[in-house]
Structure 1
Amino acid sequence: MHNFLPIAYFENQFVPFAEANISIATHALHYGTGAFGGLRGLPDPANPEQILLFRLDRHCQRLSHSARFMHFDLPADKIQQVIVDFIQKNQPSKPFYIRPFVYTSDLGIAPRLHNVKKDFFVYGLELGDYLSPDGVSCRISSWHRQEDRSLPLRGKISGAYITSSLAKTEAVDAGFDEAILLNAQGKVCEASGMNIFMVRNGTLYTPSMNQDILEGITRDSILTLARELGIPTEERAIDKSELFIADELFLSGTAARLTPISRVENYTFSKDRPISEKLREKLSAITENRDPDHSDWVFKIPLKG
């Protein structure tokens, strides 16, 4: 049962969430012609009169780029202003997740992006841990990640998530928490909605951008923090067998934050995760506005004024 925030932004106005409804004939519903973002917010632990958002500018920029793939001109500054207004109208008092979505809103048939109306909405819901912070078990999926030559993987295109959905359900039905997808070349790609990291011999590895991964904002943040902490990092292709002999594995994403992997298939990993924990503590301090070195990553929204 989700606790949705009471106000949504829909068809260029703020309305009660329950009234923000689309038709069953909506173009995006039939063809996956939508793109979305996702970002977390929380009341400032040191000042309950303001909300903290992690890397709001990057999230708005990525959604604007995703909209461009949909042939929709939606400037990042407009997205940001709507989100600020959205938060001030909802006055959230618990940690929450925001889902902005761009989509083809015309009614009718025929898959296309030309001569079809586009629109933009925002809603939110209270959200704690998306995955267990103690660690998750993962299955190597029988489904492969799409290729960028067939789908613009630099955007969060809604239609692409059928593969994630198939992989996630396959994993859960087999008794696992999450799925790890390989790309068409058989290299490790990402989880159903998260990037993946591996630690071996003190070095932090993650699939490089040419491995058909999503350009994750949390992924980028973790790489930056690791380098600042003196942890060697490398972005490259990763083989499946490397996962089984890793010292540490974890997933990253807006919803998942930094979630350890405790098992892949029948290979179990130690609960001693020094690098993962160091990065998770650093990331948590930043998102809670306790780290002055990265205060520019935290956007502060006053609830009054």
Structure 2
Amino acid sequence: MHTFLPIAYFENQFVPFENAKLSIATHALHYGTAAFGGMRGIPDPENPKQILLFRLDRHCQRLSQSAKFLNYELSSEKLQQIIIDFVKKNKPSQSFYIRPLVYSSGLGIAPRLHNIEKNFFVYGLEMGDYLSPDGISCRISSWTRQEDRSFPLRGKISAAYITSALAKTEAVESGFDEAILMNSQGKVCEATGMNIFIIRNGTLITPGFEQDILEGITRDSVLTLAKNFGIPTIERPIDKSELFIADEVFLCGTAAKIAPVKQIETFKLSAHRPITEKLKDKLFAITENKDPDYRDWVYTVAVE
């Protein structure tokens, strides 16, 4: 069971979470004409009157860009202010996750993006570890990631996640924790809601944007940290066979943070993960606002 934050933003006002309800005829429900974001927040360990949000500006920028694919102009600045107000009203006392979503709110029956109302809501829930921090098992999915020529993969569009849902259930029902999706060229793409990295001979490797991946914000953070650590980094296609012989493999995303992979299919990976752990520890310290070099990644919200 999820523990939802008590206040939601819905139809241009803050209301009790249980009062934020949609019609069964809502366009987005039928056609997937929605885009969402997700961001982490925690109470400041050093100051109980502050909430820390990780990379608020980047998350709002990406959602604003995603909204454009829905023919909806929603500024990043407006999104930021609503989310800040949302946090102030809820005053979370535990680690939490914020889910903003833009959607076609009209009740029309035709699949379209023109001449139909759009709207935006925000809700949140308490969230600890999304995946086990000790390591997870993955299978190669039988499902293939969409292509950008047929789907706007630069946006976090809700309809795309049917593939993720199919792949996740396939993985769990066959005894694994998570799935790894290949793209239409047969190269490693991403997991069901996370980007993927491998380490080989001390080099951090991840698929580039041309491999039909989502432009992950945690992915961007990991690349920046690695470069600042002096860890060699490469963005390039990854073959399936490389997964099985990699020195380390991890997934990353807002919900998952950095999740080490301990097994892919029948191949066991090493439990010695020095680069993964180094990046994981640094990212954790940053989210707690304990690293002065990355203070601009953490937005502080004062709560009474």
Task: Judge same fold: TM > 0.5, yes or no.
Answer: yes
Deviation string for 1:139-163 (max 9, x for gaps)? 0000000000001101100001000
- What is the rounded CA distance, in whole Å, between the counterparts of 1:92 and 1:292 in structure 2? 24
Residue number in structure 2 paired with 1:79: 79
Residue number in structure 2 paired with 1:181: 181
Whether contact under 8 Å (2:28, 2:103) holds in the other structure is yes
Secondary structure of residue in 2 paired with 1:131: coil
- What is the rounded CA distance, in whole Å, between the counterparts of 1:261 and 1:227 in structure 2? 22
- What is the rounded CA distance, in whole Å, between the counterparts of 1:201 and 1:218 in structure 2? 23
Residue number in structure 2 paired with 1:56: 56
Residue number in structure 1 paired with 2:281: 281
TM-superposed CA distance for 1:118, in Å, is 0.2
Structure 2 alignment gaps of length 5 or more:
none
Q: How does 1:40-189 map to 2 (within 5 A)?
A: 40-189=40-189
Secondary structure of residue in 2 paired with 1:300: strand
Alignment-mate amino acid for residue 138 of structure 1? C
Residue number in structure 2 paired with 1:265: 265
Cα RMSD for the two superposed structures: 0.4
Whether contact under 8 Å (2:108, 2:116) holds in the other structure is no
Residue number in structure 2 paired with 1:214: 214
Alignment-mate amino acid for residue 118 of structure 1? K
TM-superposed CA distance for 1:241, in Å, is 0.3
- What is the rounded CA distance, in whole Å, between the counterparts of 1:198 and 1:55 in structure 2? 24
Across the two proteins, how many residue pairs are aligned to each other? Answer: 304
TM-superposed CA distance for 1:248, in Å, is 0.2
Deviation string for 1:107-157 (max 9, x for gaps)? 130100000000000000000000000011000000000000001101100
- What is the rounded CA distance, in whole Å, between the counterparts of 1:253 and 1:217 in structure 2? 7
Alignment-mate amino acid for residue 270 of structure 2? S
TM-superposed CA distance for 1:47, in Å, is 0.6
Residue number in structure 2 paired with 1:193: 193
Q: How does 1:11-22 map to 2 (within 5 A)?
A: 11-22=11-22
Q: How does 1:246-261 map to 2 (within 5 A)?
A: 246-261=246-261
Residue number in structure 1 paired with 2:30: 30
- What is the rounded CA distance, in whole Å, between the counterparts of 1:223 and 1:269 in structure 2? 22
TM-superposed CA distance for 1:270, in Å, is 1.1
| Identity level (%) | 72
- What is the rounded CA distance, in whole Å, between the counterparts of 2:122 and 2:278 in structure 1? 34
Secondary structure of residue in 2 paired with 1:57: helix
Q: How does 1:218-229 map to 2 (within 5 A)?
A: 218-229=218-229
- What is the rounded CA distance, in whole Å, between the counterparts of 1:135 and 1:104 in structure 2? 38
Secondary structure of residue in 2 paired with 1:107: coil
Secondary structure of residue in 1 paired with 2:243: helix
Runs of 4+ more than 2 Å apart: none
Secondary structure of residue in 1 paired with 2:218: helix
Secondary structure of residue in 1 paired with 2:49: strand
Secondary structure of residue in 1 paired with 2:134: coil
- What is the rounded CA distance, in whole Å, between the counterparts of 2:90 and 2:283 in structure 1? 26
- What is the rounded CA distance, in whole Å, between the counterparts of 1:47 and 1:187 in structure 2? 46
TM-superposed CA distance for 1:11, in Å, is 0.1
Whether contact under 8 Å (2:138, 2:178) holds in the other structure is yes
- What is the rounded CA distance, in whole Å, between the counterparts of 2:269 and 2:163 in structure 1? 27
Residue number in structure 1 paired with 2:291: 291
